[in-house]
Amino acid sequence: MPESTGTKPSVLFVCVHNAGRSQMAAAWLTHLAGDRVEVRSAGSDPGTRVNPAAVAAMAEAGIDISAEAPKILTVDAVKESDVCVTMGCGDTCPVFPGKRYLDWKLDDPAGQGVEAVRRIRDEIKALVEDLIAEIAPVPARPRGARATACDGAAS
């Protein structure tokens, strides 16, 4: 399906600084969908580091994003993605035919404490779960097949 690999869907998450919302969304998608989806994130005006409150909020959910770094939005990143999800910077994302564009209306975690970022984190998780159900649902097991600990997405 994606131009880059032809085997699995790819998603690009974009916010202004690539320091909060898009980092959390990329981490949730990677965590929940595993290798069923290619995941990228970028910012139209990248910050210097990932928001510490976002790092702390994701750590509470068992996901470590402390080693991530903000990245600049490139035309190639958009071209290589099937779905581009913007969060507060929709007008800066280049538009190409055949791509799906979503704009998630989320509060900006910049300057907010962990308490406020938890709510944003949980909103992002719900949106990512809906996106996974659309683009990369867990394949049904054949009738009579037994479930294993490795089946499905990570929890």
The CATH number of whichever domain residue 106 belongs to comes to: 3.40.50.2300
Residue 86 lies in a domain: yes
Closest CA to 83 of 103, 64, 110: 103
pLDDT of the chain along its 155 residues, tens only?
Answer: 344 445 899 999 999 999 999 999 999 999 999 999 999 999 999 999 999 999 999 999 999 999 999 999 999 999 999 999 999 877 777 888 889 999 999 999 999 999 999 999 999 999 999 999 999 988 776 666 565 554 554 44
CA torsion 87-55-31-28 (nearest 10°) is -20
Selected catalytic residue, list 29, 32, 85, 93: 93
Residue 140 counted as domain residue: no
Closest CA to 86 of 96, 101, 76: 101
* 93 among known catalytic residues: yes
In a domain, 150, yes or no: no
In a domain, 146, yes or no: no
What 8-state DSSP symbol labels residue 72? B
pLDDT at 146: 64
Query: Domain span at residue 55?
Result: 10-135
Domain assignment present for residue 2? The answer is no
Task: Given the residues 25, 27, 89, 136, select the one marked as catalytic.
Answer: 89
Handedness of CA 10, 50, 64, 32 (dihedral sign): negative
Domain count, the chain: 1
**Contact (CB, 8 A) for 42 and 94:** no
Q: What is the pLDDT of residue 88?
A: 82
Distance, in Å, from the CA atom of 69 to the CA atom of 49, rounded to the nearest integer, reads 6
What pLDDT does 2 receive? 40
**pTM, whole model, 2 decimals?**
0.85
Q: Which of 15, 16, 77, 117 is catalytic?
A: 15
Longest dimension (CA), the chain: 52
In a domain, 154, yes or no: no
Within a domain: 147: no
pLDDT value of residue 97: 87
Place of tokens 């990228």: 40
Asked whether residue 153 is assigned to any structural domain, the reply reads no
